[in-house]
């Protein structure tokens, strides 16, 4: 029995995305296991894909409940396989993965800010127009790149390293690596720069060069701020999140397998 779970089996609160498969699964699971109110639950069971898992995790910043995901969506990297049987036992025997979000503090041309959002996967900066973005990158107060001309750049957590970061040819990070990935998106100059691995406690500041002409948007996962002038990014250890995985399918094992996939 995992610490924090009730002795009579975990009290589960189910949530589902809007996809028909997820809504049908929600109805079946609630009929079979009941629906515990959030304020009395031991865990949250998220039915959907990775996008819904991120939304479910984002809602856990306050109550800190662990989340057990089951795949009823399109992409299911963060999810367990769906099965109706033996769910309490699966949750009791699940492996815990504790992850930490990034805090994004964005300033805009209108003088708003800093606008603060949390990202579980990554903070990304992308050009808003046909003009190439030009960005200055500082790490822990020291300029590391005077000018990056690119479609954008991102900072990814280990949990998010297999998402947008991997598509941008960034490195896959094991969960326990205590690292962040700083990865350019379609770099033009310096063309050969492929990014950097940073300590998990590094503070990254990205300034937009010519922000009126070369407009850039910043996103914390799916939360977007447009017309930015500067973004500060750091890991936020005050907001730990817990994911539950079936034995043999834990997140660190999935990340390791991903590195050997063709």
Active site residues: 50
Going by the DSSP 8-state scheme, the letter that residue 173 receives in this structure is: -
CB 57 within 8 A of CB 19: no
HSE of 257, CA atoms in CB hemisphere, 13 A: 8
Total residue count of the chain as it appears in this document: 262
CB 227 within 8 A of CB 115: no
Q: Residue 120's closest CA among 196, 61, 41, 166?
A: 61
Q: Residue 228's closest CA among 242, 210, 252?
A: 210
3-state SS, residue 252:
helix
Q: Residue 217's closest CA among 159, 157, 144, 131?
A: 131
First to last CA, the chain: 37
> What H or E segment, with its residue span, contains residue 80?
none
| Cβ neighbour number for residue 9 with a 10 Å cutoff | 15
166 backbone dihedrals φ, ψ, rounded to 5° = -65, -40
Q: Residue 53's closest CA among 43, 38, 67, 40?
A: 67
CB 204 within 8 A of CB 137: yes
């Amino acid at each position: 029995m995992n610490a924090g779970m009730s002795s009579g089996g975990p009290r589960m609160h189910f949530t589902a995305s809007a996809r028909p498969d997820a809504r049908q699964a929600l109805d079946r699971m609630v009929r079979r296991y009941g629906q515990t109110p959030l304020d009395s639950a031991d865990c949250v069971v998220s039915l959907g894909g990775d996008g819904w898992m991120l939304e479910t995790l984002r809602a856990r910043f306050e109550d800190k409940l662990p989340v057990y995901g089951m795949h009823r969506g399109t992409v299911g990297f963060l999810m367990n396989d769906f099965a109706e049987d033996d769910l309490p036992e699966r949750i009791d025997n699940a492996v815990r993965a504790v992850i930490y979000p990034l805090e994004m503090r964005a300033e805009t041309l209108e003088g708003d800010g800093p606008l603060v959002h949390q990202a579980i996967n990554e903070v990304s900066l992308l050009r808003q127009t046909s003009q190439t973005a030009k960005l200055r990158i500082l790490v822990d107060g020291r300029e590391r790149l005077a000018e990056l001309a690119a479609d954008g750049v991102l900072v990814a957590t280990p949990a998010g390293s297999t998402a947008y970061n991997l598509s941008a040819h960034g490195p896959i990070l094991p969960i326990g690596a205590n690292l962040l990935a700083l990865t350019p998106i379609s770099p033009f100059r310096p063309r050969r720069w492929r990014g950097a691995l940073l300590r998990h406690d590094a503070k990254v500041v990205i300034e937009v060069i010519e922000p009126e002409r070369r407009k850039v948007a910043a996103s914390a996962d799916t939360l977007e701020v447009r017309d930015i002038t500067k973004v500060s990014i750091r890991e936020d250890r005050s907001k730990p999140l817990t994911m539950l995985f079936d034995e043999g399918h834990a997140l660190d094992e999935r990340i390791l397998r991903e590195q050997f996939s063709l």
